[in-house]
Structure 1
């Protein structure tokens, strides 16, 4: 894969004055929940699918917040990504406790 490009949709959950972050177990970096937009899928559809897969909850993307661009090199290959950010609501989410993950390689936690 030469010069891969990643298009992602990311959820900004704000609940009880906390923002929800995700972390791959064993890694130090954190990121917003969400994931890759599949071909033909809207960013809203991606968020609904990814949040269901990652956390097992339904959500409603509320409004578009903006874009973040990022690039990095891994094993000599340049990666570029665009992240579309949306404020997302879910009546099934409380950040009083860390929400469980449906994927064994991810954990979720709320930060002030």
Structure 2
């Protein structure tokens, strides 16, 4: 895990409940990945949280992880689990860009 300054986070920020849930228990068998995901999640929310909410990114697409196969089921893995210490460079309604890689959302039809 790469050392970097701890992001500022205050209750009441975007995705507050999702962050607290992520911090409260490790949903994986890997404590190192969990610690990194917590750090990446706080950093993401500080920089991109308001924009992600404006674009309608749901908690599961940012913080979710498959309970039975956490690191095997990429279709159920939220963005923060994929960051692994990297930062998001751009965020749109359709995708997040990390370096030269775009991670697309599962857009649902609006009803």
Q: TM-score, normalised by structure 2?
A: 0.29
Greater share of residues in helix? 2
Higher RCO (C-alpha 8 Å, min separation 6) = 1
Structure with the largest fraction of strand: 1
